[in-house]
Structure formats: structure tokens, C-alpha cells
Amino acid sequence: MNALEQLKRFTTVVADTGDFNTMRAYGPRDATTNPSLILKAVSKPEYRSLLTRTLAAHPGEDVAAVCDRLLVGFGAEILAIVPGRVSTEVDARLAFDVEATIAKARHLVALYEEAGFGRERVLVKVASTWEGIRAAEALENEGIHCNLTLLFSFPQAVACADAGVTLISPFVGRIYDWYRKHDGVDDYAPEEDPGVLSVRRIYTYYKKFGYPTEVMGASFRSVGQVLALAGCDLLTISPELLEQLSKDEREVERRLDPRQAREEAVERVRFDEKHFRYAVNEDAMATEKLAEGIRIFAADAVKLESLVAQAR
């Protein structure tokens, strides 16, 4: 078996793309999207027809409403390919607004249900701000499952688990990027990679204390990072790395194991709002990357709206 096939023995592989052909080629169970990936996909000629059909079907709706339908349209196409779930992101401009995040998530799920897909196949992606976590807690209580994204720190992960969210997406590659620049190094060995170590710490904590929240490593920069987390609940992987894994013949070993995690000496912690905000603020990397991630996703949402407006 190649490395990708071996990895699937330990971990649920998720496609981190809006490209349907990639999903068909590599057979992931789930798929994740975000405004940046959808913007990239809809800019390609082969996916332009989805935008054209969406505009034609809803001529009287404003740009924001059409964008919501386009995101769900992509998600529906993905769900026709993968057997599991798709993650669709709430507008990052709502990252600090609890009620608006809840309303947008309900709307996205309603659009999926209108398209014939039950909420059990949808994960609503929400930024891991304090407000985003509170919104996700309320949504989970309604049976709307959430994927907490832009997660860079242990306090964020603990708060998400205590809120009962379905899944978190710690960003391995963006943590790696920050420390690489900060430390002035060319690369890290997988066992020393700050992004890999962050996910291992979170995974161990969750399994130690029996949290059902799933850990899905995200934002990878190399095959080495991916394989260093073999055994994580899920890993969402870009098309480029999926291709590399499919051609890699090395032996893949399980690196994360729930039984071993339960034996670790780990202290349980809690974060109320003031302690959460202080703890995240004390982590320069998490503070900077969370703010940057929100800005990037928000900017791409604006670009997507502009693209839709121009196509009308």
C-alpha cells in the first residue's frame, strides 16, 4: 500500500479543497471548504457553470444571499461525491458576533436541507474566537454540528471541547509558518515541529479526559507533518499533498493512540471568558495567526461577493 492507503488505516482522510476531481481521485470520507478555496475553485472555467446556474436560479436575490447559495451549491456537489460530511464556513466577518453567527449557520443548514441533505452531513465552520465558541455551543444544542476553525492554541481547544463542539481544526502549517519565521530556521524535524506538537497535545488532552470532540489536523505544509500525526481522528489534506502521499511508498506507523493518551499525566484545566482571552493574548503566535486568518477569510469573502456581482 502507498502512504495514503496506509494512513487511512489509522485516520479519516479529508480533502481540503473545492476541487471535485481531486475528491473523486483520492476517495476521502469528508471534505472541507472555506471562502479562499471556493473563490479559487469558482475562478476556474470548469466550475464557472455552478455560479452561472446559481445566478440563473435566484435572479432576485442580493449578492450576499447568492454567495450563501453558491457555498451550499459547492457543498452539495461535494456531498454527491464523498460518503461523509462537508464543512461550510460562516462568514469570517461575523467572528465576533454570537447572534449573527448563529443566524448564518441556521441559514446555511436550512439551504442544505432545502437541497436534500440532512444536517448530519454538514459541519458549519466557525472561527475559534470566544464569540464563535459560544455560538457553536448554542448551535450544537440545536443539533447543528460545528467545525471550529482558525484554532492555534491549547486554550482555544479546551474551550471548544467544554462547549461540546463536534470537531476542531488546529492549523498545523500556519503554526509552523509563524515559528519558522520567529525562530529564523529553515525547517523543523516532525518531532520538533511546533504545529505537530500542538495537535499532539490537544489530542492527548481530549483522549485523556474522554471528550467526544474530534481533532482534525489542518493546514499542512509537508507529507512529514501529515505522517507525524497518523492516528489523529481526522486529517484534512490539500490536493498536492494527497498526490504526494499516493506516490509515497514509505511505511506509515501510527503516531497518536487514544490508549496511550489516556495513560499520560495531564492536568485538567478550565477557561472562563477572562482567562480564555488572557491565555490567548499571552500566546503571540495564536493572537497573530487568529487575527490574520480572520482578515484573510473576510477579504476572500469580499472578493467572492465582487465576483458574483460582476457575473450578474
Tell me the pLDDT tens digit for each residue of 192-238: 999 999 999 999 999 999 999 999 999 999 999 999 999 999 999 99
- Stated as kind and residue range, the H or E segment containing 205 is helix 194-208
Q: What is the pLDDT of residues 277-288, one digit of tens each?
A: 999 999 999 999
- Arithmetic mean of pLDDT, 156-185: 98
Q: Note the pLDDT of residue 158.
A: 98
Locate 299 and state its grid cell. 477579504
Q: Note the pLDDT of residue 40.
A: 84
Share of the chain above pLDDT 70, in %: 100
pLDDT exceeds cutoff 80 at 270: yes
Q: What is the pLDDT of residues 166-176, one digit of tens each?
A: 999 999 999 99
Looking at the DSSP bridge assignments, the partners of residue 124 are: 88, 146
Q: Is 37 left (phi over 0), alpha (psi -120 to 50) or beta?
A: alpha
Residue with cell 462537508: 86
Residue by residue, DSSP assigns 250-311 as S-------HHHHHTS--------HHHHHHHHHH-HHHHHHHHHHHHHHHHHHHHHHHHHHHH
pLDDT classification of 15: cutoffs 50, 70, 90: very high
pTM above 0.85, yes or no: yes
- Arithmetic mean of pLDDT, 144-148: 98
Look up residue 164 and give its amino acid: G
Local structure of residue 161 (DSSP, 8 states)? H
Q: Note the pLDDT of residue 205.
A: 98
Task: Point out the catalytic residue in the list 125, 247, 274, 303.
Answer: 125
Q: Is the separation of the CB atoms in 92 and 127 below 8 Å?
A: yes
pLDDT classification of 36: cutoffs 50, 70, 90: confident
The mean pLDDT of the chain is 95
- Arithmetic mean of pLDDT, 13-18: 90
> CB neighbours of 175 closer than 8 A, spacing ≥ 6?
152, 194, 195, 198, 285, 289
Task: Measure the CA–CA gap between 75 and 49, rounded to whole angstroms.
Answer: 15
Q: What angle (nearest 5°) sits at the alpha carbon of residue 45, between those of residues 39 and 51?
A: 55
- Whether 125 is a known active-site residue: answer yes
Going along the chain from its start, the domains and CATH numbers come out as 3-311 (3.20.20.70)
- Arithmetic mean of pLDDT, 16-31: 89
More confident residue, 154 or 60: 154
